[in-house]
Structure 1
Amino acid sequence: MIRVVILGSGNVAQHLYTGFLDQKHAKVIQCYNRKRLLFHPAQEENSITDDIGSLKEADIYILAVSDNAITPLSAQLPFKNKLVVHTSGSVPMKALCNLNKRGVFYPLQTFSRDKNIDFDSVPICIEAEEEKDVHLLKDLATPLSSKIYEISSDQRNILHVSAVFVNNFTNHLFSIGNDICKEHNIPFEILYPLIQETAQKVIQMNPDQAQTGPAIRKDTKTIERHLNILSDPLQKEIYQTLTKAIQSKYGKKL
């Protein structure tokens, strides 16, 4: 059995703990966070510590902390030559202190505290300096997910940029759509089937082929009507920027 210690108190730490809870191949033997937060009702109080000097002996130490905390926390670890990995999409593996063996265990998914995650469908990107540690990370990840990828720090950084576009920016557009509906007393739920179809379509076909709407059609009258509806200057700017980007990509001009 692979012994795991999770350091951190955020959403990724919580979901990793829950994900490993029913696994027979790995056991989270301890969690470290300064608030001594419990991640699950079944978790025992004595498995939580806020004292970094009292970390238990483990095979893998997972730093599920903010990007800025990775380097300083890894330098505070009270041991050497252990496998220490972080879960960040954008931080290089070498940001970890070199007194320990370094690696990455990056689950590429958006994590919210109150939303359950099916880890089997979550891609897990792994990286390590030594081949034996790559195998250990594969052994840790494989029973958890069916989608395991060996990804370098440079590749992972590029992947993270893409993820920001398809998730964070897209979610912000959903938020804008919700605001517009709310402003005009329209139920946002009317758009749910469209949101689902849009997401499913880009899985089934190339996003370039899936592009529709007034921008690609060069429907200037509809675009003008939409801009007249928008009362928020920032919403107008975003609409115009995205319209210009779509038309530029597909060879059409404003």
Structure 2
Amino acid sequence: MIGAGNVAHVLGRTLKKAGHTIVSIWNRDPAKAVLLAGELSAKAVEQPEELPDDADIYILAVSDHAIAELLPMLSISKGILIHNAGTVGIGILSQSAKQYGVLWPMKMLRSSMNELGDCTMVIDGNDEATRRLLFELAGQLVGRVTVADDLKRQKMHLIAAIGSNFTNHMYHLAADYCKETGIDFSLFYPLIASTALQIQTAYPGDVQAGPAFRGDKGTLERHRELLSDNEALLHLYDEITASIRKKFDR
């Protein structure tokens, strides 16, 4: 395991729970490597050259920009070198290993998580044998596994940003508005949960609702009046309203 951040913690715990052995860990901050190694019953090494040369898989569990920085330090003659990034191509790993690929957990990970849990794992490899092995490994860790090349995986990362990061930003703005107006944001949890559940069994466009969808100009204007002193949120409200109305030809 190369890295000792959020991904290394959660993926390491999940691998260990699945019966795999984390042999060793290297991290730029040795103290973090020692802490994670203690939890995963692994050995912390001080330099990348001290990583064993007979491991089955070498996991670059680091930030996207750090991958390119660390590759010159690695030379993997045996085993598969993988990264966990959604938007970084696997070809970048060819300079440091003969077999390489990606194991991208499509989930926002925090080091406090005990395991991956419900998650889709996106995999790829530089040859069929590598893809098969990584597909099998991913299947031991999560319930959903799919294969995607670089371009498809980048598109999936984009969709993940829109479907998760963007919607979370909307929750953030809504929670701020609640705080400013003395409304308990938790009252909306059932509505948010039911919407997320609904699109798992129906196409999102088939269950769209709300004043923009209905073309209810009166309600839209009342909403806009309530946001008259919040320029940023009003702008976002108008943009999304326009998008919904255009999509449904209102």
Given candidates 50, 56, 69, the residue that maps to 1:54 is 50
Whether contact under 8 Å (1:21, 1:27) holds in the other structure is: yes
* Partners of 1:50 and 1:97 in 2: CA distance: 24
Shift of 1:131: 1.6
Whether contact under 8 Å (1:104, 1:126) holds in the other structure is: yes
* Partners of 1:164 and 1:10 in 2: CA distance: 21
Whether contact under 8 Å (2:122, 2:145) holds in the other structure is: yes
Given candidates 3, 28, 32, the residue that maps to 1:34 is 28
- Corresponding residue for residue 18 of structure 1: 13
Alignment of 1:195-214 (within 5 A): 195-214=192-211
Say if 1:140 and 1:155 are closer, same or farther in 2 by CA, change over 3 A.
same
- Corresponding residue for residue 224 of structure 1: 221
- Corresponding residue for residue 108 of structure 1: 106
Task: Give the root-mean-square deviation of aligned CA atoms.
Answer: 1.8
Shift of 1:9: 2.5
Q: Deviations over 1:49-88 (max 9, x none)?
A: 3411211231111111111111221222144354211111
Alignment of 1:117-196 (within 5 A): 117-119=115-117, 121-196=118-193
Whether contact under 8 Å (2:6, 2:109) holds in the other structure is: yes
Query: SS where residue 203 of structure 1 aligns?
Result: coil
* Partners of 2:159 and 2:131 in 1: CA distance: 24
* Partners of 2:185 and 2:114 in 1: CA distance: 23
Query: SS where residue 200 of structure 2 aligns?
Result: helix
* Partners of 1:115 and 1:229 in 2: CA distance: 39
* Partners of 1:212 and 1:108 in 2: CA distance: 28
Gaps of 5+ in 1: 1-5
Q: Deviations over 1:136-179 (max 9, x none)?
A: 21232221122121111111011111000110000000101100
Aligned length: 244
TM-score by length of 1: 0.89
TM-score by length of 2: 0.91
* Partners of 1:158 and 1:166 in 2: CA distance: 12
Shift of 1:111: 1.2
Shift of 1:127: 0.6
Quote the sequence identity (%).
Answer: 31
- Corresponding residue for residue 70 of structure 2: 73
Alignment-mate amino acid for residue 120 of structure 2: P
| Stretch moving more, 183-192 or 221-230 | 221-230
Q: Deviations over 1:192-249 (max 9, x none)?
A: 0001001000101000011111111111221122222223211111111111111111
Query: SS where residue 142 of structure 1 aligns?
Result: helix
Alignment-mate amino acid for residue 32 of structure 1: W
* Partners of 2:2 and 2:79 in 1: CA distance: 14
* Partners of 1:20 and 1:115 in 2: CA distance: 13
Say if 1:103 and 1:28 are closer, same or farther in 2 by CA, change over 3 A.
same
Query: SS where residue 165 of structure 1 aligns?
Result: helix
* Partners of 2:38 and 2:241 in 1: CA distance: 48
- Corresponding residue for residue 3 of structure 1: none
* Partners of 2:166 and 2:47 in 1: CA distance: 38
Whether contact under 8 Å (1:105, 1:126) holds in the other structure is: yes
Shift of 1:97: 4.0
Whether contact under 8 Å (2:86, 2:153) holds in the other structure is: yes
